[in-house]
Amino acid sequence: MILSTNFLKDYIDLDDDLDIHQLAEDMTKMGNEYDTEGKLINATKLVIGEIMDCVEHPDSDHLHVCQVKVGEGDVRQIVCGAPNARKGLKVIVALDGAKLPEIEIKKGVIRGQESNGMMCALYELGLDKKYLTDAQVAGIEELPADAPVGEDPIKYLGLDDGVIDFDLTANRGDLLSILGMAYEVGAIYDKKVKDIDLTHAESDEELKFKVDVKTENCSLFLAREVKNVKIAESPDYIKERLIASGIRPINNVVDISNYVMIETGQPLHFYDADKLNGMLQVRMAEEGEKLTTLDEQERELSAQDIVISDGTRAIGLAGVMGGLDTEITENTKNVVIEAAVFDGVCVRKTSNKILRSEASNRFEKGLDPNRTYMAMERAVKLLSEIAEGEVLKGTEVYDKADKENKKIEITVENINNILGTKLSKDEIIDCFRRLAFECESKDNTIIVDVPTRRIDISIKEDLIEEVGRVYGVDNVEGKSMTLSVKKGSYDRTSREIRNKMVNLGLSETLSYVLTNPEEAPMFTSEKLDGNKESIRILKPLTEERSCLRQTVTTALYRLYQYNKAHHIEDINIFEIGKSFYKLGEEFFEEKKLSALMSGTYYTGLKQEKIDFYTIKGVVEEVLEYLGYGARYSFVVDDNIPGDLHPGKSASIIVDGKYMGYIGRINPCICNEEVYVFEINLDKLLAVKTGKMKYKEISKFPTVKKDIALLVNKDVPASDLQKAIKSAGGKLLLNSKVFDLYTGKGIDEDKKSIAFTLEIGDSTKTLTDEEIAEEINKITENLAKKFNAELRG
Amino acid sequence: MDKVEEVKQNALQEIEQANDVATLEAIKVKYFGKKGELTALLKMMGTLSAEEKPKFGAIVNSAKEEVSEVLNKKMDAFAKAEMDKKLQTEKIDVTLPGSKIIRGSKHPLTRVIEEIEDLFVSMGYDVVAGPELETDEYCFERLNLPKGHPARDMQDSFYITPEYLLRTQTSAVQARAMMANTEKTPLRIIVPGKTYRREDDATHSHQFNQVEGLVVDKNISFADLKGTLEIFMKHMLGEDTKLRFRPSYFPFTEPSYEVDVSCFKCGGKGCNLCKHTGWIELLGAGIVHPNVLSMNGYDPNEYSGFAFGTGLDRLAMFKYGITDIRLLYENDVRFLKQFDRKDD
């Protein structure tokens, strides 16, 4: 809503020195934000001038050299290119030093002729061209012959207005009107709102027009008729206020409907009475019904649209747009006026399809039915006065609206408890008085009579907010709460995982959940996720962001590509985030830990390219840190996603359950060596771990022995490890792989793998014989199971 | 006796003149060896009377000790010099870099979230989470935003079906937390998390982060809300931060407020960041609407509460001087790596 302060001043007396910026700020404190504020015309050093003489420029085919009188005995030469510059014309002159929105005017010489200013068109003063006629845009502004030379042309034209463009909250439909604004401003400055003038003449002729409402989605419908209107240009004050309010003036009749809407907040619709069938009907549209609207487009309607009909055909979309056939034209003589209240939700749905307009916006936010009557009377008054129409006697009324003021009971305690204030009853009643709410009180109870214009107020809490607004939010002291003692809590595990990953050298990312349909299912497992689909947005912004990712890895791979394109070599990133899928008709979301590693892992002299074992180390470190020490394994099975290298990937298993995958991205997708893993945290963290507890340290020494085994190449280390453990029993405290060798000196199908075994007993020192026996047990088992030979 | 003194003086003089370890070793043999001169003197004792023996023995031993001490000292000095010489040859370049794994970093948004979590946890709040793929019921309806409500325009949503959408606000978790608390006991929660709206431009990302706060208890007032947000903002933006509450409208709170903070860049004098107003709009807040309480099982006559929400992206941007919101989501490694240390 753009507020014209000139318009506002019709309804409230403002101090002459009230600065527009101050008003905007004071309104902001009341909860009404604004986008911009300022003068309608931002230009200085303008005067009304008269062209005393106008000759063609000797060195130009389109310039004129004019002698312009700008004051008593003050004639200045100005070179002007406007085609309509001519002797005797009254014009707007920007003097030397004038500041216009686009330029600053300076004395100068144009093709050898001195020029001491500029004659202006209104758009050069900052008025949007959409408000101007073609003639006004083609040349300089032509002022009436009686315009006083030397005076301020902006004031003379009534364009000396201040405007504030408010960004109002959705509940304050009442502020979409000058009257509503007047009440709000009145509450700020403690001023009374003036009455609106509705008095008008009426002819003796009776209205014969009929109204028929056939839907519950219209609660109030009024119709009147004004005959023999004279279509002409509107008076300047109407044009100026419409322009200041952001509406293009058209002709006096159309302008009146807009003027009254801005003034009262009630949208009106004017019909050419001679094109109607003697009646207006309100009903829901038939499915597929056709209507050509004002903008000359044929619309196909649905059963959710409210239409106005003249009994034979649809002639308008209620609250949204009128029909082309019945609109006011230059030739209109008789006007039927509609003032109605339509259901906001219906209008909203229709306007979302067709056009959001000043009118539809007001219906959506809700209207005051008492204002509907007022707007009708105001419109016929202006039509009779400005368009010289004859107002027929009588109003056709359909009225199912509730027009009673709401009475809300509230206590002084209610207000002070919620605001945290210590206001007295008198202070509270004074707040309501400033808002022009009547109230009566008994003891500590106040009964507030809420006017119907404030449709946003229906419960006690709404009144508390009003008191808070008028009293001033800044006047409430903040305090520390005194609440029961309670320990706070947060998801420590996620934070610990994050810290661990950071400590392991990875950078945390925050990637987009939405991606394109091709990338959304990347890195899913054909076997595990075969029945799952990615979830699609109904109305995506772009196809690029139309689907929810099914893995977090797909987003990390995207980030890898982005960084790679920026010539970054070492990319080691991770994220804890959600991924989503659809299974049957149900939607699921899962919390994942995903990481991607590529490049080098060590810095300094010891550079080492990241390989499978680097990222595996990260996973092991995380799992062990979380307490799954001996419970995890990496297995090769058919759950591994096809987007991974089949020979360099594994499923991550904890307590026998599948938790995710690890591996190199399939070279068919990415040539570079890039490794990823993804673990389902919802599943993993459901596996319970024990509390940390102290275990006694053995007082007896342990012995470390290294063994190197020669085995077939395809024997997995984890199988050897298992066999060592089972044979080693209690005395084997630990066993670790420390070397792997293939090549020279070893058969091609063999490998040498070396373990360090730690042997000990917590109750005694082992003898050399006991140690030898333990080693023997282990190597024998390995020989038996894997044909493993002990190497020197 | 004189002989002893003579041998001693000779030995000391030879030690004095010795220039290397070998000479010293030779001196050691010459005087202390089996046939050494000092050893020989001791052997002479056998020829003396029982009376002279102890006296002579004491003199010889004292001379031995003196020579031996001087000799050892010089030997040590030579040994040390030699070791020093050897170590000099083992010198390395200490200015070469240390060997270490790459350093990880935590996303600036996470840093801000953790800071907020720590503050509120210290005040007894629980940090709770909820689904990002939310139902219309929890995202809107249970927050007093029925279908067709004009305020739904404030949030253009990514719907999946007419009933499911990507949550537009962490407020959805307000309703979940209230419903989940079947005992209907007091609540004190914050909800940081991802949110989604159907808009994407220079200042809006379709995916962004919010934190939501909700307190439901007996006798909660606007003054409590004001005090809480003052602590919150002073903690995040500095002790001098001032707050300005402006009445506003949100369907889930009544009264509702928008909260501005004094511009931390110019201190309220007016600059580009605050568009010359001295204030930056940062939070939405209010007293929980009685409909929201009753719809989620709390009796509004017994309980009251406050709620607040703020965009974490902007907080992170302010805190670290990030000028473009897109940087937060591009995840350029050169950007991420800037957040790899302890923050002051």
Q: Tell me: the pLDDT tens digits for A158-188?
A: 898 999 999 998 889 999 999 999 999 999 9
Give the residue from A567, A145, A591 showing the smallest Cα distance to B333.
A567
Residue A264 and residue A316 in one domain:
yes
Which residues in chain A have their CB less than 8 angstroms from residue B110's CB?
Answer: 498, 508, 510
- Of A363, A381, A399, which one is at a domain's C-terminal end? A399
Residue B68 and residue B194 in one domain:
no
Q: Give yes or no for residue B151 having a pLDDT over 70.
A: no
Residue B35 and residue B115 in one domain:
no
The beta-carbon neighbor of A31 closest among B120, B151, B247 is B247
pLDDT tens-digit readout, A95-132: 999 999 888 999 988 888 899 999 999 999 989 998 88
Give the CATH number of the domain where residue A35 resides: 3.30.56.10
Q: Do A510 and B109 touch (CB under 8 A)?
A: yes
Q: Give yes or no for residue B152 having a pLDDT over 80.
A: no
Report residue A149 as tokens: 């030379």
What is the reported pLDDT for A690? Answer: 85
Residue B37 and residue B121 in one domain:
no
A130 touches chain B (CB under 8 A): no
Confirm whether B102 is domain-assigned: no
Q: Give yes or no for residue B150 having a pLDDT over 80.
A: no
For A303-314, what is the mean pLDDT?
91
Report residue A724 as tokens: 């060592």
What is the reported pLDDT for B200? Answer: 84
- Of B30, B56, B89, which one is at a domain's C-terminal end? B89
Residue B67 and residue B117 in one domain:
no
Confirm whether B344 is domain-assigned: no
| Residues B226/A478, Cβ–Cβ less than 8 Å | yes
The structure tokens 């995840």 sit at B331
For B246-260, what is the mean pLDDT?
92
Q: Give yes or no for residue A81 having a pLDDT over 80.
A: yes
Provide the total of helices (H) and of strands (E) in chain A, helices listed first. Answer: 20, 39
Question: Which of A277-286, A476-485, A621-630, B5-14 is the least confident region?
Answer: A476-485
Q: How confident is the model at residue A792 (pLDDT cuts 50, 70, 90)?
A: low
Residue A353 and residue A436 in one domain:
no
The DSSP bridge partners found for residue A167 are A33
Residue B262 and residue B121 in one domain:
yes
Q: Do B99 and A603 touch (CB under 8 A)?
A: yes
Confirm whether A567 is domain-assigned: yes
The beta-carbon neighbor of A478 closest among B96, B223, B332 is B223
Domain extent at residue A574: 492-684
Residue A227 and residue A331 in one domain:
yes
**What is the nearest CA distance from A782 to chain B, expressed in angstroms?**
36
Calpha distance B41→B3 (Å, rounded) = 9
The DSSP bridge partners found for residue A283 are A307
Confirm whether B177 is domain-assigned: yes
A 498-557 → B contacts, CB under 8 A: 498-499, 501-514, 535-541, 545, 548
Confirm whether A629 is domain-assigned: yes
For A776-781, what is the mean pLDDT?
92
Q: Give yes or no for residue B165 having a pLDDT over 70.
A: yes
Query: CB A129: neighbour CB atoms within 10 A?
Result: 12
Residue A29 and residue A111 in one domain:
no
What is the reported pLDDT for A58? Answer: 87
Calpha distance A426→A420 (Å, rounded) = 17
Q: With H, G, I as helix, E, B as strand and everything else as coil, classify residue B75.
A: helix
Confirm whether A92 is domain-assigned: yes
Confirm whether A166 is domain-assigned: yes
| Residues A644/A615, Cβ–Cβ less than 8 Å | no
What is the reported pLDDT for B54? Answer: 83
Residue A173 and residue A27 in one domain:
yes
Residues with Cβ within 8 Å of residue A69, at least 6 apart in sequence: A49, A50, A52, A75, A149
- Of A383, A399, A415, which one is at a domain's C-terminal end? A399
The DSSP bridge partners found for residue A415 are none
Which residues in chain B have their CB less than 8 angstroms from residue A463's CB?
Answer: none
Calpha distance A605→A491 (Å, rounded) = 39
What is the reported pLDDT for B154? Answer: 56
A 460-489 → B contacts, CB under 8 A: 461-462, 464-465, 468-469, 473-474, 476-481, 483-489
Confirm whether B258 is domain-assigned: yes
- Of B37, B55, B89, which one is at a domain's C-terminal end? B89
Which residues in chain A have their CB less than 8 angstroms from residue B96's CB?
Answer: 604-605
Question: Which of A22-36, A357-371, A544-558, B262-276 is the least confident region?
Answer: B262-276
What's chain A's average pLDDT?
93
Give the CATH number of the domain where residue A742 resides: 3.30.70.380
pLDDT tens-digit readout, A142-166: 999 999 999 999 999 889 899 999 9
DSSP code per residue over B165-218:
EE-S-TTHHHHHHHHH-TT---EEEEEEEEEE-S--SSS--SEEEEEEEEEEET
pLDDT tens-digit readout, A349-384: 899 888 888 999 999 999 999 999 999 999 999 999
ipTM of this predicted complex? Answer: 0.86
Q: Give yes or no for residue A267 having a pLDDT over 70.
A: yes
For A769-784, what is the mean pLDDT?
92
Give the CATH number of the domain where residue A339 resides: 3.50.40.10
Percent of chain B with pLDDT over 70: 98
Q: Do B255 and A171 touch (CB under 8 A)?
A: no
A782 sits in which H/E element = helix A768-786
Calpha distance A231→A605 (Å, rounded) = 90
What is the reported pLDDT for A9? Answer: 94
Give the residue from A597, A606, A611 showing the smallest Cα distance to A569.
A597
A288: left (phi over 0), alpha (psi -120 to 50) or beta: left
pLDDT tens-digit readout, A605-654: 877 899 999 999 999 999 999 999 889 999 999 999 999 999 999 999 99
pLDDT tens-digit readout, A316-359: 999 999 888 899 999 999 999 999 999 998 999 899 888 888 99
Residue B113 and residue B54 in one domain:
no
Question: Which of A499-513, B12-26, B30-44, B170-184 is the least confident region?
Answer: B30-44
Give the CATH number of the domain where residue B136 resides: 3.30.930.10
Confirm whether A484 is domain-assigned: no
Residue A645 and residue A547 in one domain:
yes
Confirm whether B162 is domain-assigned: yes
A420 touches chain B (CB under 8 A): yes
For A466-483, what is the mean pLDDT?
86
For A418-444, what is the mean pLDDT?
93
Give the residue from A520, A576, A509 showing the smallest Cα distance to A545.
A520
Residue A449 and residue A375 in one domain:
no
- Of A444, A473, A502, which one is at a domain's C-terminal end? A473
What is the reported pLDDT for B155? Answer: 60
Which residues in chain B have their CB less than 8 angstroms from residue A571's CB?
Answer: 333
Which residues in chain A have their CB less than 8 angstroms from residue B121's CB?
Answer: 488-490
What is the reported pLDDT for B40? Answer: 81
Residue B141 and residue B21 in one domain:
no
For B62-80, what is the mean pLDDT?
88
Calpha distance A190→A25 (Å, rounded) = 16
Calpha distance A631→A151 (Å, rounded) = 92
Confirm whether B95 is domain-assigned: no
Which residues in chain A have their CB less than 8 angstroms from residue B228's CB?
Answer: 478, 481
Alpha carbon of A307 to those of A225, A285, A561: distances in Å?
20, 6, 54
pLDDT tens-digit readout, A278-302: 889 999 999 999 999 988 999 999 9
Residue A412 and residue A352 in one domain:
no
What is the reported pLDDT for A573? Answer: 97
For A75-85, what is the mean pLDDT?
91
Question: Which of A425-434, B164-173, B195-204 is the least confident region?
Answer: B195-204
What is the reported pLDDT for B112? Answer: 96
Q: With H, G, I as helix, E, B as strand and everything else as coil, classify residue A67.
A: strand
Task: Say what the alpha-carbon torsion angle B128, B132, B137, B141 is, to the nearest 10 degrees.
Answer: 80
**What is the nearest CA distance from A784 to chain B, expressed in angstroms?**
41
Calpha distance A267→A251 (Å, rounded) = 17
pLDDT tens-digit readout, A44-63: 999 999 999 999 888 888 89
Residue B194 and residue B229 in one domain:
yes
What is the reported pLDDT for A480? Answer: 78
Q: Pick the most confident of A546-550, B96-100, B203-207.
A: A546-550
**What is the nearest CA distance from A174 to chain B, expressed in angstroms?**
14
pLDDT tens-digit readout, B274-323: 888 888 999 999 999 999 999 999 999 999 999 999 999 999 998 898 98
> What's CA A780's distance to the chain center, in Å?
72
- Of B56, B89, B122, which one is at a domain's C-terminal end? B89
Confirm whether A614 is domain-assigned: yes
pTM: 0.82
The beta-carbon neighbor of B198 closest among A348, A536, A541 is A541
What is the reported pLDDT for A576? Answer: 97
Residue B61 and residue B175 in one domain:
no
Domain count, chain A: 6
A 30-49 → B contacts, CB under 8 A: 30-31, 33
Q: How confident is the model at residue B44 (pLDDT cuts 50, 70, 90)?
A: confident
Q: Give yes or no for residue B162 having a pLDDT over 80.
A: yes
Which residues in chain B have their CB less than 8 angstroms from residue A536's CB?
Answer: 160
Residue B192 and residue B280 in one domain:
yes
Confirm whether A297 is domain-assigned: yes
For A528-548, what is the mean pLDDT?
94
For A539-558, what is the mean pLDDT?
96
Calpha distance A542→A678 (Å, rounded) = 28
A171 touches chain B (CB under 8 A): yes
Domain count, chain B: 2
Domain extent at residue B139: 108-339
Q: How confident is the model at residue A603 (pLDDT cuts 50, 70, 90)?
A: confident
Residue B153 and residue B196 in one domain:
yes
Q: How confident is the model at residue B153 (pLDDT cuts 50, 70, 90)?
A: low
Task: Say what the alpha-carbon torsion angle A676, A681, A685, A687 is, to the nearest 10 degrees.
Answer: -70
| Residues A574/A546, Cβ–Cβ less than 8 Å | no
Which residues in chain A have their CB less than 8 angstroms from residue B289's CB?
Answer: 461
Interchain CB contacts (distance < 8 Å): A and B: 259
Which residues in chain B have their CB less than 8 angstroms from residue A175's CB?
Answer: none
Residue A508 and residue A657 in one domain:
yes
Give the CATH number of the domain where residue A624 resides: 3.30.930.10
Residue A724 and residue A652 in one domain:
no
Residue A53 and residue A141 in one domain:
yes
Which residues in chain B have their CB less than 8 angstroms from residue A473's CB?
Answer: 245-247, 257
Which residues in chain B have their CB less than 8 angstroms from residue A485's CB?
Answer: 124
For A580-584, what is the mean pLDDT?
96
**What is the nearest CA distance from B85 to chain A, expressed in angstroms?**
28
Calpha distance A75→A69 (Å, rounded) = 4
Q: Give yes or no for residue B265 having a pLDDT over 90.
A: no
Q: Do A505 and B103 touch (CB under 8 A)?
A: yes
Confirm whether B311 is domain-assigned: yes
Residue B197 and residue B282 in one domain:
yes
Q: Do B105 and A562 touch (CB under 8 A)?
A: no
Provide the total of helices (H) and of strands (E) in chain B, helices listed first. Answer: 12, 10
Q: Which residue of B has its CA nearest to A546?
A: B158
Q: Do A418 and B255 touch (CB under 8 A)?
A: yes
Confirm whether B99 is domain-assigned: no
Burial classification of residue A212, based on how many CB atoms lie within 10 Å of its CB (0-12 exposed, 13-18 middle, 19 or more buried): middle
Q: Which letter, b or e, does each residue of B286-298 get, where b requires 16 or more Cβ atoms within 10 Å of its Cβ?
A: bbbbbbbbebbeb
Confirm whether A368 is domain-assigned: yes
Query: CB A36: neighbour CB atoms within 10 A?
Result: 11
Calpha distance A299→B80 (Å, rounded) = 104
Residue A319 and residue A358 in one domain:
yes
